[in-house]
């Protein structure tokens, strides 16, 4: 079952350790909304590509921007303007 696999990853424990490490080192940890479309948003023009599939490993936008899907998402998360500070 997927729920067991997710539970076994211990994300909560990881989050607690990450929070403690950030606090100790004076680093601001930003929590972005879980539904923020970081993978589906073009980092260059901000167009949201609603038909992007999980199997699409390259993000290709009509504006000509092409990048690894995960790297594109990381850039969008880095530049997110709506977040909570943990």
Q: Each residue of 29-43: pLDDT tens digit? A: 999 999 999 999 999
State whether 20 and 48 are in the same domain.
no
State whether 67 and 39 are in the same domain.
yes
Dihedrals phi, psi of 23, to nearest 5 degrees? -65, -45
Provide the pLDDT for residue 11: 86
State whether 6 and 47 are in the same domain.
no
pLDDT in tens, 26-75: 999 999 999 999 999 999 999 999 999 999 999 999 999 999 999 999 99
State whether 38 and 56 are in the same domain.
yes
Q: Can you spell out the DSSP letters for 18-54? A: HHHHHHHHTPPPEE--TT--TTTB-TTT--B-TT--T
Is residue 1 scored above 70 in pLDDT? Answer: no
State whether 4 and 41 are in the same domain.
no
Number of separate domains in the chain = 2
Q: In terms of residue numbers, what domain contains 43?
A: 32-86
Q: In the block, which residue shows the tokens 């403690």?
A: 20
Is residue 8 scored above 90 in pLDDT? Answer: no
What's the first-to-final CA gap in the chain, in angstroms? 31
State whether 77 and 37 are in the same domain.
yes
User: In this structure, what token pair is assigned to residue 40?
Assistant: 């589906």
């Amino acid at each position: 079952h997927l729920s067991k696999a997710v539970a076994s990853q211990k994300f909560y424990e990881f989050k607690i350790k990450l929070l403690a490490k950030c606090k100790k080192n004076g680093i601001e940890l930003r929590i972005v909304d879980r539904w923020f479309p970081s993978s589906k948003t073009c980092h260059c023009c901000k167009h949201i590509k609603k038909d992007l599939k999980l199997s699409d490993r390259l993000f290709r936008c009509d504006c000509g921007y092409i990048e690894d899907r995960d790297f594109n998402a990381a850039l969008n998360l880095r530049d997110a303007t709506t977040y909570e500070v943990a």
